[in-house]
Amino acid sequence: MRAGRNPEDIKLIAITKTVDINRIQKAIDWGLRIFGESRVQEAKEKISKFEFRNSKLKIEWHLVGYLQKNKARIAVQLFDLIHSLDSIELAAEINKNAEKIGKTQRVLIQVKLSEEETKHGVAREDLMDLMKAVSEMKRLNLEGLMTMPPFFDDPEMARPYFKELRELRDNAENSGFTLPELSMGMTNDFEVAIEEGATMVRIGTGIFAGGS
Ligand SMILES: *Cc1c(COP(=O)(O)O)cnc(C)c1O
């Protein structure tokens, strides 16, 4: 492939917000196994139906949207991986709820690299403190970083954001953290994200738009 990456190193997360369960079922039939939702409540309704129907398949559910502290308990019950950890308070809440059910919760830290008010994530200046705090929480397993650049028509415009996330990761690894995952790239810009080192791409409309 163009980026010279091994396709096995890149996981496709099918983003199913607003996608109904019949279409998710079709995606499972096509062979997709990792699904991402952006809202806890919507995910809860869907996942409860799938657990029963697909109990023999290894399906993963990821939370890719903003997580409020008061939803941490449900999120820990539902999700294999939370991409949107962005504060020490939220980390503590996830850790506490994971402890209660004897789970180790996999998490990514979402980093805010753009100035847009609407984007969530920890500021780059606060990333190191958050990583240190998370690494001391016994029920959290920090696997990497996530970011979401502004939307651009030209995907090349997103490249600096992806590059910066990779550099933040590389710097953190030089300080002793192990952060294999980089969750970055969506329908419009995933190729650029892969060139810059993405290990997880989050694709919604590219899979589910149009048709049924
Ligand atoms: C909706 C969403 C996506 C998928 O976006 P598409 O442009 O439809 O591929 C990826 N990540 C997050 C956090 C999202 O909310």
For 37-105, give the secondary structure using H, E and C. ECCHHHHHHHHHHHHHHCCCCCCEEEECCCCCHHHHHHHHHHCCEEEEECCHHHHHHHHHHHHHCCCCE
Give residue 197's region: left, alpha or beta (phi > 0; psi -120 to 50): left
Tell me, what's the pLDDT at 7?
A: 86
pLDDT by residue for the chain (212 residues), tens only, comes to: 567 888 889 999 999 999 999 999 999 999 999 999 999 999 999 998 876 666 678 899 999 999 999 999 999 999 999 999 999 999 999 999 999 999 999 999 999 999 887 779 999 999 999 999 999 999 999 999 999 999 999 999 999 999 999 999 999 999 999 999 999 999 999 999 999 999 999 999 999 986 55
Per-residue confidence (pLDDT) for residue 210, from 0 to 100: 66
| Fold held by 7-208 | TIM Barrel (3.20.20)
- Distance (angstroms) between ligand 1 centre and the Cα of 134 equals 25
In whole angstroms, what is the distance from residue 138 CA to residue 102 CA? 11
Domain positions in the chain are 7-208
pLDDT of residue 4: 83
Q: Is 183 in the pocket of ligand 1 (CB under 6 A)?
A: no
| pLDDT on residue 46 | 92
Residue 14 near ligand 1, beta carbon < 6 Å: no
Residue 204 Cβ inside 6 Å of ligand 1? The answer reads yes
Q: Is 62 left (phi over 0), alpha (psi -120 to 50) or beta?
A: beta
Q: What is the pTM of this model?
A: 0.96
Residue of minimum CA distance from atom 12 in ligand 1: 64
- Asked if residue 185 has its Cβ within 6 Å of ligand 1, the reply is no
| Residue 114 φ then ψ, to 5° | -115, 165
Q: In angstroms, rounded to a whole number, what is the distance separating the alpha carbons of residues 113 and 99?
A: 31
40, 52, 96, 109 from 78: Cα distances, Å: 8, 14, 15, 18
The predicted structure's pLDDT at residue 5: 87
- 198/157 Cα distance (integer angstroms): 16
3-class SS of residue 203: strand
pLDDT recorded at residue 118: 72
- The letter for the amino acid at 86 is D
